[in-house]
């Protein structure tokens, strides 16, 4: 039997369900730019799997926590959001970050009627959210597919940058 009720812990579980795919996709996007995947993949997979696991526990079992433990969970989740949000901003992740970093590639594409590829970060975020019913495997498959796609886009943008010079 599954029990759940709407309290602070279950609300934090919902917040965590929506936040962990975002930080995972941001990490995958970072890998596509830097090309240093080994250490970052461990961090991405860990944040995704354990974040979703903690979100599920908070959502379904948070009603059992007394108020002080719910407050401690609030502090932990807010700390995770602030820490990962700072890391995302520090790494230069933005929805239109490619247009800023590869300005020459987009100008070349506009002049020559060539399609400049985009990473479609929001699309991959929503695909990761859709795979939540397949708890971990579906999301991890989407993350690896996003990594492959982001790598191709980054290579193409660097190629267009070099043509413009």
Length of the chain: 165
Burial class, 83, CB count within 10 angstroms (exposed 0-12 / middle 13-18 / buried 19+): exposed
Q: Give the pLDDT band (50/70/90) at residue 110.
A: confident
- The answer to whether residue 3 sits within a structural domain is no
**Residue 33 near residue 94 (C-beta atoms within 8 A):** no
Domain that holds residue 79: 8-164
Other C-beta atoms lying within 10 Å of the C-beta of residue 132: 17
Position 77 pLDDT exceeds 90: yes
Q: What is the pTM of this model?
A: 0.79
- The answer to whether residue 15 sits within a structural domain is yes
More confident: 64 or 97: 64
Structure token digits, residue 116: 């400049």
Count how many domains the chain has.
Answer: 1
**Residue 43 near residue 126 (C-beta atoms within 8 A):** no
- The answer to whether residue 2 sits within a structural domain is no
- The answer to whether residue 59 sits within a structural domain is yes
Check residue 115 and give left, alpha or beta (phi > 0: left; psi -120 to 50: alpha). beta
Mean pLDDT value across the chain = 83
Q: What is the pLDDT of residue 96?
A: 63
- The answer to whether residue 72 sits within a structural domain is yes
More confident: 124 or 91: 124
Q: Give the pLDDT band (50/70/90) at residue 16.
A: very high
- The answer to whether residue 1 sits within a structural domain is no
Position 79 pLDDT exceeds 90: yes
């Amino acid at each position: 039997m599954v029990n759940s009720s709407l309290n602070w812990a279950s609300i934090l579980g919902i917040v965590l369900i929506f936040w962990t795919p975002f930080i995972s996709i941001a990490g995958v996007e970072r890998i596509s730019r830097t090309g240093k995947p080994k250490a970052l993949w461990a961090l991405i997979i860990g944040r995704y799997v354990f974040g979703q696991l903690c979100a599920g526990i908070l959502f379904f079992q948070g009603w059992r926590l007394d108020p002080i433990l719910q407050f401690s969970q609030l502090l932990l989740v807010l700390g995770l959001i602030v820490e990962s949000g700072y890391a995302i901003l520090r790494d230069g992740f933005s929805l239109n970050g490619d247009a800023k970093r590869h300005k020459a590639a987009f100008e070349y594409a506009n002049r020559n009627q060539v399609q400049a590829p985009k990473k479609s970060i929001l699309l991959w975020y929503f695909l990761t959210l859709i795979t939540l019913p397949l708890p971990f495997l579906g999301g991890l498959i989407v993350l690896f597919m996003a990594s492959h796609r982001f790598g191709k886009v980054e290579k193409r943008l660097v190629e267009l940058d070099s043509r413009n010079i």
